Amino acid sequence: MNVTGTHNASSRRYAIVGTGVRGLVFAKMLVAPEVSERGAQLVGLVDPNRKRLEGFQACLGQAVPGYATLRELCAEIEVDGVVITSRDDTHPDLVEQACELGLDIVVEKPMATTREGVLRILEAERRSQWPIRVGFNLRFTPVAQKIKSLLLDGVIGEVVSGTMDWMVDRTHGMDYFRRWHACMKYSGGLLVHKASHHFDLLNWFVNDRPSEVVAMGSLQSYGPNGTYRGERCSTCDHVNACEGAMPHTLLATASGQDDEEGSNLRKLYYEAEAEDGYIRDRCVFRPDIDIYDTMSVLIGYARGAQINYSLNVANPYEGFVLNLVGREGRLEAHVVFGQTRPEGMAPVQQIRIISGRRRGEVVLRIEDQPVATEVHDGADGPMMRHLLLGEKMDMALGQQAGALEGAFSALIGIGANESIKTNALVSIPDVRTNALLGVANSKENT
């Protein structure tokens, strides 16, 4: 077995597990000249779908060796680290394998979709004694870094309450309901798959561990709410009338008349369907969808802070509104992601800090923030250079997220799903010290 894990950020020979669109983003970073010149290499790919592996190689423009399993790859190729970008529910099995093989591990969010899965990963890390890193790119957006820096400077003191309203537009939101994400057993729903990003930000901002959640969730826009429905967009008779139809540039993949995005989708998904039956353009109004599109969560933290969070994935634009109340003031931010910004909306984002204890003594301070036009507000590049090259960011901000950060962010969403089902408040275990007991308890309760 050719494994030479170095167990630190200087690992350079990487394999990617999960050859979908997200894996392609990491792969393109690894083969970029400015990255490969610094010693990082993409040496292998893992995916059980043979046709998807071939499509991934074609999209990448390089014949990187592909294997059906991680063990097969490691038996033939010398590898230091692995980037796991596979379907969310597969993460615990793959992390356990990678730990057994002695590999450095980067796993995309969410770290896991169930409480038992979270605890399995924490136990695998404990046994291997090497840290697992989780890909939370929102920590690397300029606006999040600025907010964290201001909080560390103590501009509002200790956070005691707040709200975060997260908006996803219909173009983006519908895409979750076309794919495997629309099945709770694969993704944990959007409170785990999507909101773990946002919960991680909140945990980072509040600087405390979540201890309990209570939540509501419903399906208001997709699933049974559409006028038309069928099996899939590319063969549907209603494609020209249905508001949920996939955009034309993506539908064109069936005929090969597509742009780069469409070409990638065709190679990675449409041409790989016969291998595993995974359909990329399923109807967003089909009746078997069992996740929510409208969600509200109240999070309680160990030191007493309370945060109200909401997520809706049928908005006209994307971004978030954040309000944090501290013992010394209030921080407000309204962020609109550049590529979805409505015409006429001001191009400058602002963070407002309001302080003062008495009327007449209140002071307003404004911090202007540039509007990013890149996908994910330009955070992918800095995050990946940090994870794959060991490039040091402003470590005072604590941007590197490990398994504990991945655990607590996922456990909020997992607990919220449980709360929705039981209509009750759900406690979040303190997995910093009780992971093994938590595994035992979770098994006893199933």
Q: Which residues contact 357 (CB under 8 A, 6 or more apart)?
A: none
pTM over 0.85: yes
Q: Residue 439 has what pLDDT?
A: 47
Q: Residue 434 has what pLDDT?
A: 59
| More confident of the two residues 4 and 276 | 276
Lowest mean per-residue pLDDT among 181-190, 209-218, 269-278, 414-423: 269-278
> For 138, what's the count of Cα atoms within 13 Å in the CB-facing half-sphere?
22
Residue 7, pLDDT > 70, answer: no
Please name each of the domains of the chain with its CATH number: 13-138 (3.40.50.720), 139-222+290-379+400-440 (3.30.360.10), 227-276 (no CATH)
Q: Give CA–CA dist 89/254, Å, rounded.
A: 29
Percentage with pLDDT > 70 across the chain? 89
Residue 438, pLDDT > 70, answer: no
pLDDT per position as a tens digit, 59-79: 999 999 999 999 999 999 999
Which residues lie across from 365 on neighbouring strands? 353
Q: Residue 446 has what pLDDT?
A: 37
Burial (CB count within 10 angstroms: exposed 0-12, middle 13-18, buried 19+), residue 227: exposed
Calculate mean pLDDT across residues 198-227.
97
Q: Pick the most confident of 137-151, 238-252, 330-344, 377-391.
A: 137-151
Query: Among residues 188, 109, 60, which one has the least CA distance to residue 383?
Result: 109
Q: Residue 443 has what pLDDT?
A: 43
Q: Which residues contact 438 (CB under 8 A, 6 or more apart)?
A: 115, 119, 429, 431
Lowest mean per-residue pLDDT among 48-62, 373-387, 398-412: 373-387
Residue 394, pLDDT > 70, answer: no
For 2, the 3-state DSSP assignment is coil
Q: Give CA–CA dist 335/320, Å, rounded.
A: 5
